[in-house]
């Protein structure tokens, strides 16, 4: 008897941008490291695997955006 594990596709939500996981074979910490090369917002926040929320057929991770800085 063989066991197969079906994993849900992962989507990261950055504001209004939906970023699909292009490396499903990587561990979660490495996914964040790869994404932070193109999206510096990933460096300024901390995401954990248990933060994902299922939405239909995908697992969504919402990236909290830092507050806008203003002078004054």
- Going from N- to C-terminal start, the domains of the chain cover 11-63
Task: List, for the chain, all residue ranges whose pLDDT scores fall below the cut of 50.
Answer: 4
Return the structure tokens found at 39: 């999206």
pLDDT of residue 1: 59
pLDDT of 5: 55
Contact 20, 36 (CB under 8 A): no
14: closest CA among 47, 49, 57? 47
């Amino acid at each position: 008897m063989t066991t197969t594990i079906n994993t849900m596709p992962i989507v990261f939500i950055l504001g209004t941008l939906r970023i699909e996981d292009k490396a499903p074979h990587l561990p979660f910490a490495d996914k964040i490291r790869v994404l932070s090369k193109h999206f510096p917002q990933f460096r300024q926040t901390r995401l954990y695997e248990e933060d994902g929320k299922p939405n239909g057929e995908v697992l969504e991770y919402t990236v909290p955006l830092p507050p806008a800085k203003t002078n004054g």
